[in-house]
A and B are shown apart, each in its own frame.
Chain A
């Protein structure tokens, strides 16, 4: 910064005061630039190139054109959208119910329950994936062993396409419901008590109060959890990788896995980057849509 006239002495401390915040922000900014901004820009350049025999050639939008007629990409997209359409609403409904229950004055030992439902979130993604895959193994798993004791046939939890999707959904629900419930619970606690009293005076039952007081009150938190879950689902990687490896026959292949596989198993970084940009676009569009639908006024 160059200034023609020297500043009056009194202004100096004020000026130093103005640069200090930037200095404080600088480390975070540098880290962001090095580890986020740079890869984001570089991967866009990569998506315009194809690597053959170690040399990179500029191919323009070829990689994006490849996306259109790649059957596996569409399979991955379909799988991801199925999880999004089935598992996310179910999980959020469960989380809402859980939040209301955890908030209830009838419940004894509330902190213990809240902790219990939140704890799965603390578990490492790979660790719980492995635990589920061991539990759900068809021939050697605990779940089928227990089912065997009540006379049920072994369920092909991970070896049948449909069951594998269900297993994946169960694992995700176990892991993330408590987390979402805690977010909803925090919002729930800000809904004024008087609204419920007023509703009761007007003759509203528990269900009516839930519909007209609790749900509208939860709206911002529901939007937040929906958007977070949508982004999380679209980027889903760890759980299917550990649990099913994307199988059987790509029934649980997700966009995140397909991207990773193209980059790190097939060394096709250009195409993987194109998949990444397509995914980003999709997340952006869905996020926008959700804000429109759930965001209400403002």
Chain B
């Protein structure tokens, strides 16, 4: 048993101990009141001021911009340039982080715009959900002048930001095409010509040779779906067949023959031992690059810049091409995702916010600068006239990386209907993929179950 003498110390001077305590209490009470006051005033404003008129002054005000990591850094770098022409607008760029930004925007929209930034960077996967669930949450950019840029962006993207052709919910920024980055040195060691691969079936056969001769996996997937983006590869295989989770009328196409084909390709690769596990998110992905675990990284345009940054020592070993087709002779180009800048409907500086959006997204010089900085591919077609997209890249063995993806952007790309239920569909798809990858489940069966569950959750009909 422990000795109890410790307690005696507390008992020696009860009054001396009590007096400061009471004073502390009073001070705490005052502090709490002050905090309440602060909290209440903090709730009432959006943190910006100096607005005038309904949409505010296009040349004056303090605006806040929410984005994440690389894009946020590039936005920050553009501010001094923006202030040369718009000295009256003070821009604060906040790096919220991805995926944290989605839930932060959701919370802001659900609170009727309280605490929301003026300019929001939004991915194509979230845009329809925000628009449908929170009408008016994002400002209509058409009255601010967005309609003038209807034909400025890559094919299909205007339909994404303006589904009805009238209201403009956002303006496109990045347009990422499906890519196929590969380690040329490993392919050479295995005696396989990567450029000659026509279909994914051929690629799987090549993967077997690669694995036998070099020990490298063909590619990596987040098998237990530790991250929400674990189904990117599956999604790309769907888009290469011109389909998605929903058709254009919003009906569920999760159990379509195309989807089963895509999942079967994944299962075949995995059963042949060609797929490494990339669970653990970004860190695991970066470690796999450093370790050379995979010969192929089937990620879109923006990932080229990441590879260059992460493994600069491997300059010359990497190449890039568009992915092989799913069916022989089928498409090899797909715009797998795009991101956008939107203006909050609650913003008291919509005009000033629009000035910034316009400066960043519709001026080729801004987009070229962003591409040079972080390799973020613009949706703005005019930007591609710049020489930066036509320069040979030393890292990619003298290839003109920009032209590879420009070709994809110019190819016809059917619009993708994400719907407001994309996140529900995505969750069911990643679960289905996990069952296939970790438990060897039958692709057709798990997709059928997923489609049925999605129909139950959303009340949507299945296509066919």
Contact = CB atoms under 8 A, between A and B. Distances in A.
B134 interface: yes
B423 A265 contact: yes
B283 interface: yes
A244 B103 contact: no
Interface string A157-168: 011100010000
A133 B32 contact: no
A265 B103 contact: yes
B228 interface: yes
B196 interface: no
B106 A140 contact: no
B51 to A, nearest CB: 25
Contact of B226 (A54, A134, A139, A244): A244
A248 B433 CA distance: 10
Given A51-B133, A54-B134, A140-B280, A159 B224 contact: yes
B438 interface: yes
A120 interface: no
Interface string B100-119: 00110011001000000000
A28 B32 CA distance: 8
B420 interface: yes
A53 B135 CA distance: 7
B436 to A, nearest CB: 10
A248 B438 contact: yes
B226 A249 contact: no
A236 B287 CA distance: 30
A196 B420 contact: no
A108 B1 CA distance: 14
Nearest to A25: B29
Contact of B227 (A31, A51, A245, A265): A245
B132 A245 contact: no
A292 to B, nearest CB: 31
B242 interface: no
A159 B277 contact: yes
Contacts of B453: 71
Contacts of B430: 247
A215 interface: no
A122 B423 CA distance: 34
Nearest to A28: B32
Contacts of A247: 224-226, 430-431, 434
Interface in B121-144: 129, 132-136
Interface residues of B, number: 46
B372 interface: no
A71 B450 CA distance: 12
A71 B428 CA distance: 12
A137 interface: yes
B434 A245 contact: no
Contacts of A110: 2
B328 interface: no
B36 interface: yes
Contact of A31 (B36, B135, B438): B36
Report the contact-size class of chain A (Cβ under 8 Å from the partner). 35 or more
A250 B431 contact: yes
Contacts of A250: 431
A142 interface: no
A30 interface: yes
A105 interface: yes
Contacts of B134: 54, 267
A38 interface: no
B424 A249 contact: no
A189 interface: yes
Contact of B29 (A24, A105, A139): A24
A245 B225 contact: yes
A193 interface: yes
Interface in B266-299: 276-277, 279-280, 283-284, 287-288, 291, 293
B284 A139 contact: yes
B425 to A, nearest CB: 10
B289 to A, nearest CB: 11
B4 interface: yes
A266 B438 contact: no
A87 to B, nearest CB: 20
Nearest to A134: B283
Interface string B224-241: 111110000000000000
A191 B435 CA distance: 53
Contacts of A53: 132-133, 135
B412 to A, nearest CB: 31
A255 to B, nearest CB: 16
A117 interface: no
A182 to B, nearest CB: 13
Interface in A260-282: 261, 264-267, 269
A174 to B, nearest CB: 19
B223 interface: yes
B33 interface: yes
B280 A267 contact: no
B283 to A, nearest CB: 7
27 contacts: A24-B29, A27-B32, A28-B32, A53-B132, A53-B135, A54-B133, A105-B1, A133-B280, A134-B280, A137-B279, A137-B280, A138-B279, A139-B284, A139-B293, A140-B288, A141-B280, A158-B224, A159-B279, A191-B1, A196-B1, A245-B227, A247-B225, A249-B431, A249-B434, A265-B106, A265-B423, A267-B129
6 closest cross-chain pairs (CB), A and B? A248-B224, A54-B135, A267-B133, A159-B224, A140-B287, A249-B434
Interface of A: 24, 27-28, 30-31, 51, 53-54, 71, 103, 105, 110, 133-134, 137-141, 158-160, 164, 189, 191, 193, 196, 244-245, 247-250, 261, 264-267, 269
Given A54-B135, A141-B280, A247-B225, 14 more contacts: A28-B32, A53-B132, A54-B133, A54-B136, A103-B1, A138-B280, A139-B288, A140-B283, A159-B438, A189-B1, A245-B225, A247-B226, A247-B434, A266-B423
